[in-house]
Each structure stands twice: as structure tokens, then as C-alpha cells.
Structure 1
Amino acid sequence: MSTIRPMRPTDLLKFSSTNLDHLTETYNIGFYLEYLTKWPDLCRVIEAKDGRIDGYILGKLEASPFSPPIHPYSPDTNPDPNYLPWHGHITALTIAPHARRLGYASRLSESLEQQSDAAEAWFVDLFVRASNEIAKELYKKMGYSVYRRVVDYYNDGEDALDMRKPLTRDVGRKHVREGGDEVRVKPEDVW
């Protein structure tokens, strides 16, 4: 049985085989270490009995770097559609090819969602390539919906879908919307 545990710096030397998928974004080691330093509770791995890393998640808690137009923030009075209130963000979630379809992605996501909920975040969001049908279906099954399409988000010109899942604080589900696939924004609008 595999277990979820906090990521350790030494895990960075063991998960290169997890990043074999062409849709997995791979970052430099400094990027991973920054996440481990700033958001250690939101960086987790799935470790097999033999010590192999079968998957990981990198996450953070954040808000827009500028103050809300109306303070304090309320989804009912916020006039800026691009302002992001306090929320959890999944930066990377990947499962090794040999460990897929075992529920690991759901388990890792749930751990980040629980941590974000405990920190009173409004929602958890993530970006996924518009062409990544498998990931989009997985996230939809986990309760995420498309909030907006970010045109030309990736370096190769592909669009990203900004997907969100409301948390306990968002009682009225005001941070999700129907028809988000049709709402198009530029990357510079998504700080």
C-alpha cells in the first residue's frame, strides 16, 4: 500500500521517472525547493512500499498581489473579474505512468483541498492544457469546473483552462461559473 506524506528535499532526486509524460510540466530544482520552503504543507508525495515515488503534488496558498478594489473582499461587491481572493492553487500534480488509475491523483488533490479549506481559502484552482482530455475529465470527476480559458497561456501557444473547485468558505459557489469554456482572457489578465 502506498502512503501520502509530506515531500522532502531528497524526494526531488527520486521522482524524475514520475515526470515521463509529455503533458507533465517539469521545473528546475530551485522551483521545487521554493515551494517546499514556502508551502511545505501543500507539497506531498505518494510513496510506494519500496520507497519509490509514484506521484506528487505542488501547491500554494495565494491571493492577487494587489488589494481588492473594495475592502474587505466579498464576491458580491468585487468589481474586478480578474481579482483572485485567498485560494489554494495546484501548480503541479503528476502520477508515474505505472501508478495511474489507482486514485492517487484524487488522494493528493484531496490532501491539498483539505489544507486549503483549513486555511479558509475560497477555492482551489489549477491550469490544465486545453488538449489534455484525460486530465480535464479527471478534474471534473473531482468536482472542478472550467472558470475561464486563458488564450496562449503555454509557451507553445496552447490555451489553458483555469479550473476551480469551491471550498467551504464559498457557500454560494460565487467563484465558479457555468460556461467557463467560453470566457476567454489573456495571460496578462491572470496575474
Structure 2
Amino acid sequence: MSTIRPMRPKHLFHISSTNLDALTETYNIGFYLEYLTKWPELCHVIEGIDGNIEGYILGKLESSPYPPPTSPYDPDTNPDPNYLPWHGHITALTVAPAARRLGHATRLSEALEKASDANSAWFVDLFVRASNDIAIDLYRKMGYSVFRRVANYYNDDEDAFDMRKPLTRDVDRKHVRENGEDFRVRPEVVW
């Protein structure tokens, strides 16, 4: 049985085996430590029975830097379609190749979604390569949908899908849309 635990700095010395996938982004240690300092409740590891790290998630809570002109925020009266209200964000989610298909990604995501919901976030979002069909299918099964396609998002100019899952606060599902794959934006409008 695997166990979800809060990520601690000591775990950073044991996550390299989870980053063996070519589609997994690997960051420098300062990046991980920044997340652990600012959003410790949104960073978790999943540990196998042998004590090895089988996966992890890095998350944060954020909104666009400039508030909308009307307060309080309402998706119906906000004139900026690219404004992001208070939301949870999955920065990194990865599972070691040997521990895949065990539900780890779902369990890690649910932990972040629960914490985001407790902080009154509207939704949780993430970015995934448009060619990563396996991850896109997994996120769809977890209730995420494509909100928009971000052209040339990655360093190699591949597009990204901005995928979202509405939380309790978004009762009317105003922060998700149908056919988001067809709604293209440039990276500079994505905050």
C-alpha cells in the first residue's frame, strides 16, 4: 500500500527515479524549494511500502496579478477573457514508470483539488503538451477538460492544452468550456 505524505526538502534527494519519462519536466532544486516554502499544503509525494518515492505533485494557489475592474470578481462581468481568478494550479505531477496505472496520479490530484477547494478556488488548472495523449486521457478521466490551446507554449514550440476542473465555488461551471481545443491563444496572454 502506498501512502501520500506532505513533500519535505529531504524528498528532493529521492525523486529522480520519478523523472525518467521524456515528457516529465525536471526543475532545479531552487524551484522545488520555492514551492515547498510558499505552498507546502499543495506539494505531496506518494511513498511505496518500501519507502521509495513513487510520484509527486507540485501545486500552487494564484490569480492574475491585476484585479478585474469590478469587485468582487464575477465571471459574467469581467471584461478580460484571459484574467485568471483565484485557482489551484498543478505545476508538476509525475509518477515513476514502475508505479504507473495504480491510481497514484488521481490520488495526488485529489489531494491538491481538496486543498484548493478548501481555499475557495474556482478551479484547478494545468498545462499539458498537446501531443501527450496518455496524460490528456488521464486528466479527462479525472474530470478535467481543455479550456484553451496555447500556441507554441513550450520551448520546442509545441502547443499546450490548458486543462481545468471546476471546484465547488464554480457552481455554474463558468470557468470551463466545450471545444476548448479550438480556442487558440498566444503564450503572452497566459499568465
Instruction: Please give the range of the TM-score, normalised by the shorter of the 2 chains.
Output: over 0.9
In the TM superposition, 1:102-141 aligns within 5 A as 102-141=102-141
Question: What SS does the aligned partner of 1:140 have?
Answer: helix
Instruction: Determine the structure 2 residue equivalent to 1:5.
Output: 5
Aligned-pair CA distance for 1:69 = 2.6
Match of 2:41 in 1: 41
Paired with 2:93 and 2:14, the residues of 1 have a C-alpha distance of 16
Q: Which amino acid aligns with 1:77?
A: T
Q: Residue by residue, what CA displacement relative to the aligned partner does 1:142-161 show, whole Å, maximum 9, x if unpaired? A: 00000000000000000000
State how far apart, in whole Å, the 2-side matches of 1:144 and 1:101 are: 18
Conserved? CA contact 1:145–1:176, under 8 Å: yes
Query: Offset of 1:67 from its aligned partner?
Result: 1.1
Alignment of 1:22-37 (within 5 A): 22-37=22-37
Distance 2:127 2:82 in 1: 15
Equivalent residue number for residue 78 of structure 2: 78
Indicate the percent of aligned positions where both proteins have the same amino acid.
77
Question: Are the aligned partners of 1:69 and 1:80 in contact in 2 as well (CA < 8 Å)?
Answer: no
Counterpart AA for 1:56? Y
| C-alpha contact (below 8 Å) 1:152/1:158 kept by paired residues | yes
**1:180 corresponds to 2:180:** yes
Whole-angstrom CA distance in 1 between matches of 2:148 and 2:71? 25
Alignment RMSD (CA, Å): 0.5
* Counterpart for residue 159 of structure 1: 159
TM-score under structure 1 normalisation? 0.99
Equivalent AA in structure 2 for residue 150 of structure 1: V
Give the aligned partner of residue 60 of structure 2.
60
Query: Deviation per CA, 1:67-102, whole angstroms, max 9, x where unpaired?
Result: 113221001111110000000000000000000000
Partner-residue secondary structure (3-state), 1:4: strand
Partner of 1:93: 93
Per-residue CA deviation, residues 3-48 of structure 1 (Å, 9 max, x unaligned), is 0010010000001010000000000000000000000000000001
TM-score (norm: length of structure 2): 0.99
Instruction: Give runs of ≥4 in structure 1 deviating > 4 Å.
Output: none
Extract unaligned runs of 5+ from structure 2. none
State how far apart, in whole Å, the 1-side matches of 2:70 and 2:4 are.
40
Counterparts of 1:108 and 1:10 in 2: how far apart (Å)?
19
CA distance, structure 1, for counterparts of residue 116 and residue 146 of structure 2 = 19
Count of aligned pairs between the two proteins: 191
Aligned-pair distance for 1:186?
Answer: 0.6
Q: State the distance in 2 between where 1:166 and 1:12 align.
A: 30
